[in-house]
Structure 1
Amino acid sequence: MACKRLLLVIGVVAAASAGASGAPPPQPARIQADVVVTGFVPCNNGTSMRAGSAPGFPGALVQLQCTGEGAAGALAANATTDGKGWFRMAVNTTVAPSSVATSCSLVVDTPLAACNATLPATGALRSGLRLLVSMVFFPRGFSYVATSADDSPAA
């Protein structure tokens, strides 16, 4: 009888130690970011943000640029649009979401002629940001901004 109890105790201890020593399976890396900006860049002069109203701008470089007190130099990122004109960028920052919304904008310097030869070869698309939820931002709407003589590089 004592032998059965000893075997039972050994079995319980062995089972408990086996369960405790088994390391949990590795978890996939999680993307953690303080700010996420996602959106659609239309291949037009910025008159509409509706994805169905204009084809997307594939391969466009979208830059997040911030200016102003509290955000200047503290936040910058970029992403390239996919084949349908969609982009997503995730940024770690200490800048408050309210500062991102008021001090940052999206800029696409890739010439519009790259996606449609009838559109201007110079200029940029610019958009402010709007907060969707928590820390996710979306473009307010891209507008075409012509390059002025002051913006041209000196010869």
Structure 2
Amino acid sequence: MAPKSLLLAALLLVGLVPLGAQAATASVRITGVVPCSAGSSIDVTKVSVFPNAGLQLVCSDKVVASTTADGTGSFLISISGVGTELLAVLLGNHCKVVVITPLAACDASLAGVTGTLTAPLKLLGAAATGTTGNGGILDLGGILGPLVQIIGSIIGGILDLGTQAFTLV
């Protein structure tokens, strides 16, 4: 999680994301696969998937977006025109994907299970839009790389996020 916090701090220090500003916008894509299981740190490759599950993106206890998983349990939440305040919340690890469909909908044996499946987000990368040449996904998982390029890719570009493991809470 440190790279996200470092990136946000760098954005704020460089002054490209002034606190409270909404001038710069980006698009955000969040992808994942919903497991049909109860437990903690559920590995979706080892359990069945949850087709047609209703999902919400919740940031700081506020529903930001909703979607439904497809027949394979995969989902995409796409948000355009995301301002710097929501970007800061997303990069500050204050958002999660929440499954709103009861687990019994994917497996009747889970009818007695109480709780909600949730998954925190992880940063997958950023893609610049409207650029020529190397406008593809920039890897932000290891070294932050040339900070100016990354900042330029996020502001006015596409921020790709994925879910970490789902947990029943």
Q: TM-score, normalised by structure 2?
A: 0.57
SS of 2:109's equivalent in the other structure is coil
Could you say if the C-alpha distance between residues 143 and 48 of structure 1 is closer, same or farther in structure 2, counting changes exceeding 3 Å?
A: closer
Equivalent-residue separation in structure 2 for 1:136 and 1:79 (angstroms):
17
Deviations 1:102-139 (A, max 9, x none): 11111112110110111135421011101101111111
CA contact (8 A) 2:119 2:166 kept: yes
Could you say if the C-alpha distance between residues 139 and 104 of structure 1 is closer, same or farther in structure 2, counting changes exceeding 3 Å?
A: same
* Letter paired with 2:118: R
RCO greater where, 1 or 2, for CA within 8 Å and sep 6 or more?
2
* Letter paired with 2:45: G
Asked whether 1:136 is paired with 2:160, we answer yes
Q: TM-score, normalised by structure 1?
A: 0.62
Larger radius of gyration between Structure 1 and Structure 2: 1
Equivalent-residue separation in structure 2 for 1:132 and 1:36 (angstroms):
10
**Aligned CA-pair RMSD:** 2.3
CA contact (8 A) 2:42 2:167 kept: no
Equivalent-residue separation in structure 2 for 1:97 and 1:118 (angstroms):
39
Shift of 1:63: 0.4
Q: Which protein has the bigger strand share?
A: 2
Equivalent-residue separation in structure 2 for 1:88 and 1:49 (angstroms):
19
CA contact (8 A) 1:46 1:141 kept: no
Asked whether 1:45 is paired with 2:53, we answer no
Q: Point out where structure 1 has 5 or more consecutive residues left out of the alignment.
A: 1-32, 146-155
- Aligned positions of 1:96-107 closer than 5 A: 97-101=87-91, 102-107=93-98
> What is the number of residues matched between the two proteins?
109
Q: Point out where structure 2 has 5 or more consecutive residues left out of the alignment.
A: 1-25, 127-158
Identity %: 37
SS of 1:44's equivalent in the other structure is coil
